[in-house]
């Protein structure tokens, strides 16, 4: 606060910026998807602006923060500062009518529970180190649409309306994305394809620090599941997601009931509470419009079985950053020029996401205590 320049009446006067700055690429949203896109494009020599509406990248955290180590290593070199805990085990309890019908425990893989406040910021800093600029506390309020194509964005930057020109826009603005809709892409999310989530960070727990916990129980979390992701020192992310159309109460009501009913969790004390939605739909299609690409949660690139989207967003962001560079180099940033992004996603990440969605559909809510689903879920959580 001390660094802000205050006017006579105490109001904050933003530093002057050119009225209509121009970049090769504007990326909206500094989550893992947006920061990876900005990093990749800046590394390839593009001038890049990454715009984030929050004043602190990565905060508040709306995530259980679990990723597979191998998958993360395929994208970045993990740093200790971002890692809360390393896990190699997971256990799944399936219950029907309060009775345990299946219990599974296994391991072998390596998982990480990240510290996303640090992780998200580190990814943005990596983009900056590669040459990208970042604006925080800057909300994109509209698209500049010229000649049937996205040509930039309108931004509320510290209370001042600005326009920023861009050769290409990447919309990585999360589950509540508006940019896709503004560009005419279909980003609607059916209630049955959304999980409403609530999560406590609980302290004072006596929980195996090497083990993720999952509960598949229609009374506890209809259409979804509950989780415990340890974060070291007796702390854990304890949360659940409920299929939006099946919720009879708020996600927080469900969470309180779950915590109360589990002796291992009841003794814990909440340190933080977060709420958020997870899209568990099929990935959006098309992913490109003239001058614009959709990335991460904005494109529904989330595993429909687990609700995990960090790795998918990073993977897609990386690809979109590369395609932006290629399209600008070729002089064709139309939907056709950006189509190789769609093709790359369809043949890799998209296939995996489609497979998870199909498997989830094969076991609709109410049938997931089936040991065959439990086994699939164990594989999808990636620690087997």
Ligand X SMILES: Cc1cc2nc3c(=O)[nH]c(=O)nc-3n(C[C@H](O)[C@H](O)[C@H](O)COP(=O)(O)OP(=O)(O)OC[C@H]3O[C@@H](n4cnc5c(N)ncnc54)[C@H](O)[C@@H]3O)c2cc1C
Q: Which residues bind ligand X (CB under 6 A)?
A: 28-34, 51-54, 62-67, 139-140, 172-174, 197, 199, 239, 276, 278, 296-298, 302, 307-311, 313
At its nearest, how many Å lie between ligand X and the CB of residue 15? 19
Per the CB < 8 A criterion, the answer to whether 158 and 137 are in contact is yes
For the sheet containing 269-279, what is the strand order?
Answer: 66-68, 99-114, 83-96, 211-217, 225-232, 235-243, 194-203, 269-279
Q: CB of 122: closest distance to ligand X in angstroms?
A: 14
What is the C-alpha R_g of the chain? Answer: 21
Residue 198 CB, shortest distance to ligand X, in Å, is 7
**Least distance (Å) from ligand X to the CB of residue 329?**
25
Q: Are 307 and 280 in contact (CB under 8 A)?
A: yes
Of 53 and 96, CB closest to ligand X: 53
249 contacts: CB under 8 Å, gap ≥ 6: none
Please, which residue, 302 or 353, has the CB nearer to ligand X?
A: 302
Closer by beta carbon to ligand X, 74 or else 371: 74
Q: Work out how close the CB of 101 gets to ligand X at its nearest, in angstroms, rounded to a whole number.
A: 25
Q: Which is nearer to ligand X, 276 or 291 (CB)?
A: 276
Q: Between 169 and 205, whose beta carbon lies closer to ligand X?
A: 169
**Least gap, CB of 268 to ligand X (angstroms):** 17
In whole angstroms, the minimum distance from the beta carbon of 266 to ligand X comes to 21
Q: Toward ligand X, which CB reaches closer, 142 or 370?
A: 142
- CB closer to ligand X, 97 vs 282: 282
Q: Which is nearer to ligand X, 119 or 363 (CB)?
A: 119
CB of 9 vs ligand X, minimal distance in Å: 28
């Amino acid at each position: 606060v001390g660094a802000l320049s205050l006017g006579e009446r105490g109001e904050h006067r933003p530093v002057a910026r050119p009225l209509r700055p121009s970049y090769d690429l504007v990326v909206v949203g500094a989550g893992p998807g947006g920061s990876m896109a900005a990093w990749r494009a800046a590394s390839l020599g593009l001038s890049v602006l990454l715009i984030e509406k929050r004043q602190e990248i990565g905060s508040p955290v709306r995530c259980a923060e679990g990723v597979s180590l191998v998958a993360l290593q395929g994208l970045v070199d993990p740093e200790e500062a971002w890692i809360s805990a390393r896990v190699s085990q997971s256990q799944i309890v399936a219950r029907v009518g309060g009775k345990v019908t299946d219990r599974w425990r296994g391991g072998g893989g390596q998982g990480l529970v990240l510290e996303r406040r640090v992780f998200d910021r580190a990814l943005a800093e990596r983009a900056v180190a590669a040459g990208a600029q970042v604006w925080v506390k800057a909300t994109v309020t509209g698209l500049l649409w010229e000649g049937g194509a996205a040509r930039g964005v309108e931004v509320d930057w510290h209370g001042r309306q600005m326009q920023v020109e861009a050769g290409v826009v990447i919309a990585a603005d999360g589950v509540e994305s508006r940019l896709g809709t503004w560009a005419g892409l279909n980003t609607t999310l059916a209630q049955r394809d959304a999980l409403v989530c609530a999560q406590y960070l609980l302290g004072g727990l006596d929980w195996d620090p090497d083990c993720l916990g999952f509960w598949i129980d229609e009374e506890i979390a209809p259409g979804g599941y509950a989780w415990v992701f340890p974060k070291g020192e007796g702390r854990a992310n304890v949360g659940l997601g409920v299929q939006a159309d099946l919720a009879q109460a708020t996600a927080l009501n469900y969470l309180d009931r779950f915590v109360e009913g589990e002796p291992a969790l009841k003794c814990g004390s909440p340190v933080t509470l977060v709420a958020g939605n997870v899209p568990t739909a099929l990935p959006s299609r098309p992913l490109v419009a003239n001058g614009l690409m959709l990335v991460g949660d904005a494109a529904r690139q989330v595993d429909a079985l687990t609700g995990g989207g960090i790795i998918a967003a990073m993977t897609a962001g990386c690809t979109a950053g590369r395609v932006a560079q290629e399209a600008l180099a070729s002089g064709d940033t139309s939907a056709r020029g950006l189509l190789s992004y769609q093709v790359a996603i369809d043949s890799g990440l998209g296939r995996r996401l489609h497979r998870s969605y199909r498997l989830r559909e094969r076991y609709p809510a109410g049938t997931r205590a089936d040991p065959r689903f439990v086994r699939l879920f164990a594989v999808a959580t990636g620690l087997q």
